[in-house]
């Protein structure tokens, strides 16, 4: 009986061992066949540590290699939770030092991780306090922080980056792939407790980002922003922008917007301030668009400067619409129609031309399509197809209605008149280079097409000089230089229908000096009040920028003279 009981126990225990053996074998096979790769990777991850070595982000320079964006040292705070003994006390101390909620800090330092971010890129004052506090398990990590030494200057051009130095707006976004570089990494070996045993080797060194050199001139940008800012406040405008361009090369020398923001603290500014109005906003241009009609009429030999046009004493019917002038005119010459900005006179010129020719020249001047400048967010405005116009369009389009433009398009159009009739593509990037100055990619002028003949350009320049000397833009007249340009005052479209009688765009586009233009400038004000005429609000800004910039160009020995306009095939 006893023997049988012993055998029963023996068989039972043997069966247990055999069953367990087969279970272990099955488990090993399962691990080998289905989990081996995962567990191998996990073991490697626990033993090997790759630490990223960030690359230096490239610098953005102006045309004279003055830095517009740089990098500065900053420290970020992280925790190693396993080394923290009294977590509640530590959370309390850190919440005061880092200006963080105590519960937030406590939750993070209680995680079962070997590395936890607490706050990125703190101030030097905070980092110094943390060093003195010597809190166990709390460490500082050195990082680069993007810095903009001129704060607001050229903010809408430069844009800004996020906490990880990735571009989010402006040049920082458009050329992020060049600026950011490629990070490297270092390889460490750790024991089972995750302690570093040795530095095995540096597997990959970081590759610094390339530098970007703009066509912007920091001094002209300063002149532009100062003049615009004063006028923006004076005229209580909703918004404003200026584009300063070299009409012979297409280089953008300055571009400014109001309202604007400090690129160092973009989070403190509303989205409206961060928008680049000069390329993102489009609007009906009003009378500045009359340059298209004037150029078309002279180029097509439909008029001469002395031809007489009856301006109907201020009222003129086109289809079912009555067209008015801002003040009544009788008989005017072609030159006087443009100089005095007669809506009726321009409409009669357009009627003789035909809407098809006006539309053709508007497209040739670049309206209706983006210019292709190297900035994100550019829009093309609006130039409708011919089959979408109505019977009244012949009176509206020639004076800048039923068409929408951007400030950059206006600057490019007036450049074509200033440089002898060539449409030049605007650009803002001069070159991309490495930290040693070796050029990686070079950009330059692109002459896309001839818009008008050099003779027509000369004749229109003479008329636009008269606009400044004796016409609607006398507030742009200079005692030192000869200026030329065209004013514009356009009613804004009312959301309820029709045109507003309280909200306007005031604008001026021009070039300087008249004989050998070096600057083409477009000045736009959105809803200035109580004064809203372009000749009152925008023309003085043009004058101030042009006078200061021309003096600077003449005395600055480092300023490179404008390149000659490239010839285009006129066949």
The enclosing H or E element of 146 equals strand 138-147
Structure letter (DSSP) for residue 397: G
pLDDT digit string (tens) for 182-229? 887 665 555 555 554 454 555 677 888 999 999 999 999 999 999 999
pLDDT at 461: 96
CA distance 404 to 235: 23
Per domain, the residue ranges of the chain are 71-147, 218-555
Torsion, CA 58, CA 63, CA 65, CA 66, rounded to 10? -100
Tell me if 307 sits within 8 A of 331, measured CB to CB: no
Tell me if 287 sits within 8 A of 412, measured CB to CB: no
Listed residue (146, 159, 150) closest to 217, CA to CA: 150
pLDDT digit string (tens) for 328-381? 999 999 999 999 999 999 999 999 999 999 999 999 999 999 999 999 999 999
Tell me if 75 sits within 8 A of 127, measured CB to CB: yes
**pLDDT band for position 557 (cuts 50, 70, 90):** very low
Instruction: Decide if domain 71-147 falls under CATH 3.90.1310.10.
Output: yes
- CATH for 218-555 is 3.40.710.10
Listed residue (546, 473, 455) closest to 223, CA to CA: 546
pLDDT digit string (tens) for 410-454? 999 999 999 999 999 999 999 999 989 999 999 999 999 999 999
Tell me if 287 sits within 8 A of 399, measured CB to CB: yes
pLDDT at 380: 95
HSE toward the beta carbon, residue 66, CA cutoff 13 A: 16
Q: Are strands 239-245 and 252-258 parallel, antiparallel or unpaired?
A: antiparallel
Q: How far is CA 418 from CA 246, 292, 411, in A?
A: 10, 13, 10
């Amino acid at each position: 009986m006893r023997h049988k009981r012993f055998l029963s126990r023996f068989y039972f225990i043997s069966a247990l061992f055999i069953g367990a053996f087969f279970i272990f074998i099955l488990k090993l096979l399962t691990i080998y066949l289905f989990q081996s790769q995962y567990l191998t990777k996990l073991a490697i991850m626990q033993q090997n540590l790759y630490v990223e070595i960030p690359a230096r982000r490239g610098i953005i320079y102006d045309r004279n290699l003055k830095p517009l964006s740089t990098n500065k040292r900053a420290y970020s705070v992280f925790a190693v939770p396993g080394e923290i003994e009294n977590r509640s006390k530590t959370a309390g101390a850190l919440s005061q030092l880092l200006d963080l909620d105590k519960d937030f800090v406590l939750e993070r330092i209680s995680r079962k991780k070997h590395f936890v971010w607490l706050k990125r890129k703190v101030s030097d004052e905070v980092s110094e306090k943390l060093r003195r506090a010597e809190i166990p398990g709390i460490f500082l990590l050195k990082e680069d922080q993007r810095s903009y030494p001129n704060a607001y200057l050229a903010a809408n051009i430069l844009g800004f980056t996020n906490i990880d130095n990735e571009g989010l707006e402006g040049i920082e976004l458009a050329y992020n792939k060049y600026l950011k570089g490629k990070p490297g990494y270092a390889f460490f070996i750790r024991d089972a407790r995750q302690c570093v045993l040795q530095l095995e080797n540096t597997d990959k060194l970081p590759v610094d980002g390339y530098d970007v050199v703009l066509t912007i001139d920091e001094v002209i940008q300063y002149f532009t922003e100062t003049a615009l800012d004063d006028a923006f406040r004076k005229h209580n405008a909703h918004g404003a922008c200026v584009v300063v361009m070299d009409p012979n090369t297409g280089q953008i020398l300055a571009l400014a917007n109001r309202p604007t923001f400090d690129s160092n603290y973009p989070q403190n500014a509303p989205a409206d301030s961060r928008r680049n109005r000069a390329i993102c906003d489009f609007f009906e241009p009003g009378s500045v668009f009359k340059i298209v009609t004037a150029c078309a009429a002279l180029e097509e030999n439909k008029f001469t400067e002395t031809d007489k046009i009856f301006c109907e004493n201020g009222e003129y019917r086109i289809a079912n619409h009555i067209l008015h002038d801002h003040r009544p005119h009788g008989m005017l010459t072609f030159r006087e129609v443009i100089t005095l900005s007669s809506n009726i006179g321009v409409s009669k010129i357009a009627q003789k031309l035909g809407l098809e020719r006006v539309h053709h020249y508007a497209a040739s001047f670049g309206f209706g399509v983006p210019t292709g400048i190297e900035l994100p967010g550019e829009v093309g405005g609006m130039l409708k197809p011919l089959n979408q116009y109505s019977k009244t369009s012949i009176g509206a389009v020639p004076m800048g209605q039923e068409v929408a433009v951007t400030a950059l398009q206006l600057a490019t159009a007036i450049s074509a008149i200033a440089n002898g009739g060539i449409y030049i593509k605007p650009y803002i990037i001069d070159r991309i280079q490495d930290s040693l100055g070796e050029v990686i990619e070079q950009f330059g002028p692109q002459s896309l097409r001839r818009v008008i003949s050099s003779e027509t350009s000369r004749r229109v320049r003479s008329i636009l000089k008269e606009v400044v000397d004796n016409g609607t833009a006398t507030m742009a007249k200079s005692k030192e230089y000869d200026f030329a340009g065209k004013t514009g005052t356009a009613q804004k479209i009312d959301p309820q229908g029709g045109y507003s009688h309280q909200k306007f765009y005031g604008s001026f586009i021009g070039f300087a000096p008249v004989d050998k233009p070096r600057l083409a400038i477009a000045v736009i004000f959105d809803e200035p009040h109580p004064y809203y005429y372009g000749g009152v609000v925008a023309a003085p800004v043009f004058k101030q920028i042009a006078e200061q910039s021309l003096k600077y160009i003449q005395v600055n020995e480092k300023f490179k003279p404008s390149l000659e306009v490239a010839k285009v095939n006129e066949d």
